[in-house]
Copies of this chain bind each other. A is one copy, B any other.
Amino acid sequence: MRAIATREDIRDVILDAADRLLARYGYKKMTVEDLAQEVGIGKGTIYLHFPSKEEVVLSHVDRIVERLKVKLLAIARDDALAPAERLRLMLVERVLFRFDSVQHYTESLSDLLAALRPGLLARRERHFQEESRIIAEVLRAGRRAGLFHFHDAHAAARTLLLATNSLLPYSLSTRELGEREDVEREASRIVQLLLHGLLARADAPPKPEGRRSK
């Protein structure tokens, strides 16, 4: 273990505290003062790292997606798995990782989503683009191996994301989404249908393998 706390460590500790307070108080009731007290630092120190309560919570959402991306990349580059299996795991993971990340403050999620809507929408678009790049990587690998059949890897990746987006705890709280096992089953079904649609078949024209540039 390192003996010296870095700037990133302190940010992380603040975000961990935000995660606990979102569960305890909800977004509206949580104050920067509460946060400082939970961490055991002065309010001014919070402001050294984040300009506002809103920014703390948006950074907390960013961190969830950063952690998700680490998981997605590990699956994307796992050569022991077939590309279709990697995609399947990644698409289910993107749904369940988010579900698990917010399920302890499901009660206050609607609050948070309403209050941070514009900031979240802007970030959401960026998060999807980042996820899309990782998915597209696996799609191209599958096409090179003659397993997938599509024209534009980015468009295909976006379609896979959009199709699973309705299961993200963004517009619905996790309570409204249902039990974790329901969400998992629904995500798996969508992914299964979508992957079958991508698979190259004997009866499909073999042309797309030549179009790797997009």
Contact = CB atoms under 8 A, between A and B. Distances in A.
Interface of A: 110, 114, 117, 121, 155-156, 158-160, 162-167, 170-172, 176, 186, 189-190, 192-198, 201-203
B163 A193 contact: yes
Nearest to A150: B193
Contact of A189 (B155, B165, B167, B192): B155
Interface of A is mostly: helix
24 contacts: A110-B117, A114-B114, A121-B172, A121-B176, A155-B189, A156-B189, A158-B186, A158-B189, A159-B193, A162-B166, A162-B167, A162-B190, A163-B164, A165-B166, A171-B171, A171-B172, A192-B197, A193-B197, A193-B198, A195-B197, A196-B197, A201-B201, A201-B203, A202-B203
A122 to B, nearest CB: 10
Given A121-B176, A194-B194, A159 B189 contact: yes
A175 to B, nearest CB: 10
Contact of A186 (B110, B162, B202, B203): B162
Contact of A196 (B163, B196, B202): B196
Nearest to A114: B114
Contact of A159 (B162, B170, B190): B190
Nearest to A192: B197
Contacts of A189: 155-156, 158-159
A189 B172 CA distance: 24
